């Protein structure tokens, strides 16, 4: 795996691009780690994914082996386990 890091100007938006042959557990874990450091969670409603700022989250709970993220007006399901979110 080749890793390139480039410093950009302050007015440019930071970005991360991953080039891979297949999206496997290794790639999924990298994406999950990066997202966890950005202060957002990924939630799902009816098959569509949404990025949820942590500041919008009221609470998170697990019910029947599913994990839900509760915000003021929406409830999202997430594929992450409670212990992963806690970390």
Cα separation of 81 and 72, whole Å?
Answer: 21
As a CATH number, domain 25-86 is 2.40.50.40
Strand duo 66-71 + 75-78: pairing: antiparallel
Cα separation values, 78 from 41, 48, 53, 69, Å: 8, 11, 14, 7
pTM over the 0.85 mark: no
Is residue 34 within 8 A of residue 17, CB to CB? The reply is: no
Is residue 39 within 8 A of residue 53, CB to CB? The reply is: yes
- Residue by residue, pLDDT tens for the chain (87 residues) are 788 888 999 898 888 889 999 999 998 888 878 777 667 889 999 999 998 988 789 999 999 999 999 999 999 999 999 888 877
The domain limits of the chain are 25-86
């Amino acid at each position: 795996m080749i890793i390139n890091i480039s410093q950009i100007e302050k007015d440019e938006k930071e970005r991360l691009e991953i080039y891979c042959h297949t999206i496997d557990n290794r790639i999924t874990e990298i994406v999950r780690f990066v997202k966890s450091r950005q202060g957002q969670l990924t939630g799902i409603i009816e098959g569509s994914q949404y990025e949820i700022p942590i500041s919008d989250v009221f609470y998170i709970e697990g019910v029947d082996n599913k994990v839900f993220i509760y915000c003021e007006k929406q409830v999202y399901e997430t594929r992450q386990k409670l212990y992963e979110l806690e970390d």
